[in-house]
Amino acid sequence: MISDRQAPPQQPYGTAYQQMLAKVRYEGAYPTRERADEAVRLVLAGLGRQLTGDERVDLAACLPLEAARVLTEQIPDPQPLTGWSFVKDLAARTGASLATTRWDTGSVFCAVAACAGPDLLTRILHQLPTGYALLFGRAELTQAA
């Protein structure tokens, strides 16, 4: 007899997305690919609510199709969140702790940065409010006075 608690059958993912999941799983030390997939979907949906313009389009073009779809299905918020507010918003949406959500964000952003490359990542960080550079594993960029 099949229990309702069993996981649904796995969707076949493209190779590029499987590689991204493997990177996120490694970076985040997640026990399963499914947990890495959860983190990717949560964080990319959140990023999709923050990112606009050419940077959004260019990032979507760099990401595996499944990840790009999650990013671009979101409607950008009219008032972008700072990096810390971004983490707090994701935690509130999932009920996870701030520490877990910060960990998920860093793990996913590490893989996103690898897909985007340094030039696009710099453009993305210039567009977003303060606090995202650290989430991407970079020093915070500051404007010269």
3-state secondary structure the chain: CCCCCCCCCCCCCCHHHHHHHHHHHHHHCCCCHHHHHHHHHHHHHHHHCCCCHHHHHHHHHHCCHHHHHHHHCCCCCCCCCCHHHHHHHHHHHHCCCHHHHHHHHHHHHHHHHHHHHHHHHHHHHHHCCCCHHHHCCCCCCCCCC
Domain count for the chain, please give it.
1
Higher-confidence residue: 7 or 66? 66
CA dihedral 35, 37, 40, 42 (to 10 degrees): -70
Whether the full predicted model's pTM is greater than 0.85, yes or no, is: yes
Higher pLDDT, 16 or 140: 16
- Tell me how far apart the terminal alpha carbons of the chain are, to the nearest angstrom: 68
Domain assignment of residue 7, yes or no: no
| pLDDT at residue 124 is higher than 90 | yes
Tokens of 19: 């590689």
Residue 3 pLDDT grade (very low, low, confident, very high; cuts 50, 70, 90): very low
| Structural domain for 87, as ranges | 15-136
Instruction: Provide the pLDDT for residue 83.
Output: 96
- Per-residue pLDDT tens over the stretch 60-115: 999 999 999 999 999 999 999 999 999 999 999 999 999 999 999 999 999 999 99
Q: Per the domain annotation, does 143 fall within a domain? A: no
Non-local CB neighbours of 8 within 8 Å, separated by 6+ positions = none
| CATH number where 25 lies | 1.10.490.110
Please give the pLDDT value at position 140.
76
Residue 45 lies in a domain: yes
Alpha carbon distance 141, 4 (integer Å): 49
Question: How do residues 20-71 score in pLDDT, each as one tens digit?
Answer: 999 999 999 999 999 999 999 999 999 999 999 999 999 999 999 999 999 9
* Contacting residues for 25 by C-beta, under 8 A, at least 6 apart: 32, 33, 35, 36
Q: Is residue 68 part of a domain?
A: yes
